[in-house]
Structure formats: structure tokens, C-alpha cells
Amino acid sequence: MNDLTLGLIYAVKHSEKSAKESIIGFLSEYTGTPKQYYSDNELVRIIRDSFVDYLKTADNPAFEVWQYFDAKRQKENFKDVFPEQHKKYAERDNCMDIDTEAILSAFRLAGVQKDGKYINGFKENWRN
């Protein structure tokens, strides 16, 4: 998995900001491009390209694709039944299409470690 994909997933998983803000902040730092140059269309392209890159390295890509389709199916409609999961799983930025939002939900749930070891192509020092 390339560093752009790793950084994007880490930004989505570990930020208190919206996914869009987190991704733009990461991309701006990663590329040195001012934040205002990232349009929604460019973000969608980058997110989708990163999803394909992630799937190429995932230990169980079928599960990751299932998470994408499940997130797409669930949208935000289950917040009353599963309020805790909704906070992590179905956050919507309302600026991107549902497919891209589902990819972001799948990224939020992507497994990084199992039994203390990195999985799915993640690594500890991804910026080195």
C-alpha cells in the first residue's frame, strides 16, 4: 500500500474533524499544496484510488468490500439502534456521493492491528 493511501486512512481513522477536513489537511501536508486547491471531485478521485490501492494489500479484501457495501446500505439510518457505532461508522460529511461516503466508512473500520501485529498492509512507520 502506498504512503498516500496509508496517510489518508490514518487521517480518517484518527481525527476529530470531519473526514473531508482530515483528508484535505493530510493531503495539503503530504503534497505541499494549499488546502483550497482540493475540490470535492479531486477528493472523490483520490479516495476511490486509495480504496483500490488498499484492497490490493488487504489480508481479506472480500471483508473490506463487504464493509463498503454494508456502509452503503446502512447510511445513517441506524443511528437510533446503534448510536455508538453510528459515531464511528456512519458519519456523513454530506459533500460527497454515497459511494465515496461508504468507502470512508469502510476506511474507518479498516483493521490495522491484530494480536499486536500490523495487518492489511499497514505498518508502524509509514512515513519513513
What is the distance between the alpha carbons of residues 101 and 90, in angstroms, rounded to a whole number?
Answer: 8
pLDDT at position 90, please? 47
Q: What pLDDT does residue 19 have?
A: 87
Write out pLDDT tens, residues 38-60: 998 899 999 999 999 999 999 98
**Is the entire prediction scored with pTM above 0.85?**
no
Residue 79 backbone phi and psi in degrees, to 5: -65, -30
pLDDT of 128 reads: 47
How do residues 73-116 score in pLDDT, each as one tens digit?
766 555 554 555 555 544 554 556 778 888 888 888 888 888 98
CB of 2 closer than 8 Å to CB of 122? no
**What whole-number distance in Å separates Cα of residue 43 and Cα of residue 59?**
26
